[in-house]
A and B are shown apart, each in its own frame.
Chain A
Amino acid sequence: MNQRAMRALARASKLRAHFWASIIAIFSRGLTSFTGTDAYATPTPLARPVPLPDGPLIVVANHSSHADSVALLATLGRTRPVLVVSASDYWEQDSTADWLSRGLVGTFAISRSGDGMEQLRGAADLVRAGVVLVIFAEGTRSTTGEIGDFHTGAFRLAAELGARVLPIAINGTFESLPKGSTFPKHRATNLRHGTAIAVHPDSIDEAVATVRNELIELHKMPIEDLAGFGWQRVRKAAFGWAGLLVVFLWAMGEGIFWPLIAEMPLLLLVVTVGWRWRGAALIAASAAGAALGVLATWWMVKSGFEPPSPLTTPRMFEVAAEQLDANLGGAFWQQMFNGIPVKVYAHEAGAMGLSLAELGTALIARITRIVLVGAGGWLLGNFLARWLRPSLGLVQSVTLALFPIGLWLTIAYWS
């Protein structure tokens, strides 16, 4: 296998890994890999690359669900190129099945009725070149969740190639998506990596027994429901001083010059705190910051100083002035949905020479918006926690990636 093809396969594996990791993050309760076989095995969350041994490697795993291939692809594919040995009588039934299996999963299909070993040897060059070949040694999905008898093909191939066999026990996929079911249940999945062994051609049966026994032991371990990497970090920040300070300064900054809305960090943090008073403290900090920011801009403009207003348009200032002039109290309520930054209203309030009492009355709308959005996020976070726990990092990344488009649409409208 030439280097170019190998690079293409590695790229495809990484892409598949990211794709399936996103799907798992959204639809499951999370996936954690454990390396080390004792009770103190090191957990690796889905968002981090999992360590794998160097050299030719064949992964042997238990099989009870379609989610098994996906779980292995999502984790191993980040570290090394991966192909999953599949049954051609199932995955090559017609063009759709073939396309799905080759494109989305990355399969190496062999027939279950013919000479499987001879077909398996077709992957020899790939394994030598560094591709991790995943083989479900039971040959089919278990209908009981128990680990069945193993075929010897994986071990014979490993012996012929001098490759090592790494047992990985997949725990949780039988509970979430057993054979015959359509929709996955929201459960946690654990991948427990065993010890990679070399296989001698004279001791195939011994190697089979060793790997099967280790898989059975690893399969018995309890499923650990660990939160995703993103959730853990954000929750830690939410309960520290940093979280309070960020929401306060962000909201205050938005009232003066900052172009990103105050609710962004508030929602991100408040969804992780659960039914704890910290949620109310975060909302209060954001509301106080928002009010102070508006007051600061009003005071600066009234005193003759013009704070910078990036990503605003002259029309925004005109409309804000019209609304403040027409209905002082209603202007800030309209600001809630119309996309004109609050600093523009604060600026125009200063330019119009509104009194502190008048501005204070108008600010009720601004504070109400922060409290309503924050409380909504707090409430929603409690209901959606089981989905957000594994996927908050992904949600956060997607939101941040799409926010500039929303900002551009808003500015374009007010241009």
Chain B
Amino acid sequence: MSRDNRASRVTEMVGRYAFRSAAFLFGFAVLQWFAFTGFWLGSQPIIILAFFTILDAIAYPAFALFSLVAVLAQLRPWRFTWHPWAGLLLMVGGAFFIVDALLTGFAK
């Protein structure tokens, strides 16, 4: 019996969405980095920092997990598309920007 190497439409769709959401979050992370390290919102924008900390703490782990699931999903059909891998890479890169932005913002 030959192995079915086709990834299903569902797997491919999950990969594409993982990349799109990661790209959006990466852009969002870079914007936060510029805003908080450049003090665009003043020297102590604690309310806004708290808001973004909560938002990032929810969105980043959730979508990082989503990207990881999208990568793992390709292992079973053994058919690889670049979308979920690029998504995972963007999530890792974005996390560095977020951590630096929030640490700078909360520094006393």
| B11 sits at the interface (CB 8 A) | yes
| B92 sits at the interface (CB 8 A) | no
Check if B45 sits within 8 Å of A96, measured CB to CB. no
Bound: A93/B47 CA distance, A: 47
* Known A93-B8, A97-B8; contact A338-B106, beta-carbon cutoff 8 A: no
In the complex, the chain B residue whose C-beta lies closest to that of A338 is: B44
Q: Name B44's contact: one of A337, A402, A407, A409 (CB within 8 Å).
A: A337
- Total residues of chain A contacting the partner, CB 8 A: 20
Bound: A99/B8 CA distance, A: 13
Which residues of chain B in 13-37 are interfacial with respect to chain A, using CB atoms and an 8 Å cutoff? 14
Check if B7 sits within 8 Å of A94, measured CB to CB. yes
| A113 sits at the interface (CB 8 A) | no
Check if A334 sits within 8 Å of B42, measured CB to CB. yes
Check if B47 sits within 8 Å of A96, measured CB to CB. no
Chain A min CB distance to B39 (Å)? 11
Which residues of chain A in 88-114 are interfacial with respect to chain B, using CB atoms and an 8 Å cutoff? 91, 93-97, 99-100
Bound: A100/B14 CA distance, A: 10
Check if B8 sits within 8 Å of A409, measured CB to CB. no
* Known A337-B41, A402-B54, A413-B106; contact A96-B8, beta-carbon cutoff 8 A: yes
Chain B min CB distance to A16 (Å)? 17
Contact with A along B43-54 (1 / 0, CB 8 A): 011111111011
Check if B11 sits within 8 Å of A97, measured CB to CB. yes
In the complex, the chain A residue whose C-beta lies closest to that of B48 is: A337
Check if B10 sits within 8 Å of A96, measured CB to CB. yes
Which residues of chain B in 59-78 are interfacial with respect to chain A, using CB atoms and an 8 Å cutoff? 69, 73, 76-77
Bound: A72/B11 CA distance, A: 24
* Known A96-B76, A334-B42; contact A405-B54, beta-carbon cutoff 8 A: yes
Bound: A94/B73 CA distance, A: 9
Chain A min CB distance to B40 (Å)? 11
Contact with B along A294-336 (1 / 0, CB 8 A): 0000000000000000000000000000000000000000100
Bound: A406/B48 CA distance, A: 9
Report chain A residues within 8 Å CB of B14.
Answer: 96, 100
Bound: A27/B16 CA distance, A: 19
Q: Name B47's contact: one of A95, A338, A402 (CB within 8 Å).
A: A338
Bound: A410/B49 CA distance, A: 9
Check if A94 sits within 8 Å of B47, measured CB to CB. no
Report chain A residues within 8 Å CB of B77.
Answer: 94-95
Report chain A residues within 8 Å CB of B48.
Answer: 337
Check if A339 sits within 8 Å of B11, measured CB to CB. no
Check if A338 sits within 8 Å of B46, measured CB to CB. yes
Report chain A residues within 8 Å CB of B9.
Answer: 93
New A-B pairs, 19, CB < 8 Å, besides A337-B42, A406-B51, A413-B46? A91-B10, A93-B10, A96-B73, A97-B10, A99-B73, A100-B14, A334-B42, A337-B41, A337-B45, A338-B42, A338-B45, A338-B47, A339-B44, A339-B50, A405-B50, A405-B54, A406-B50, A409-B46, A409-B53
The 9 lowest CB-CB distance pairs between A and B, nearest first, are A93-B8, A339-B46, A96-B73, A97-B10, A95-B76, A409-B50, A406-B50, A96-B11, A338-B44
A-B contact pairs, 16 of them (CB 8 A): A93-B10, A94-B73, A95-B76, A96-B14, A334-B44, A339-B46, A405-B50, A406-B50, A406-B51, A406-B54, A409-B50, A409-B53, A409-B54, A410-B50, A413-B46, A413-B106
Chain B residues within CB distance 8 Å of chain A:
7-11, 14, 41-42, 44-51, 53-54, 69, 73, 76-77, 106, 108
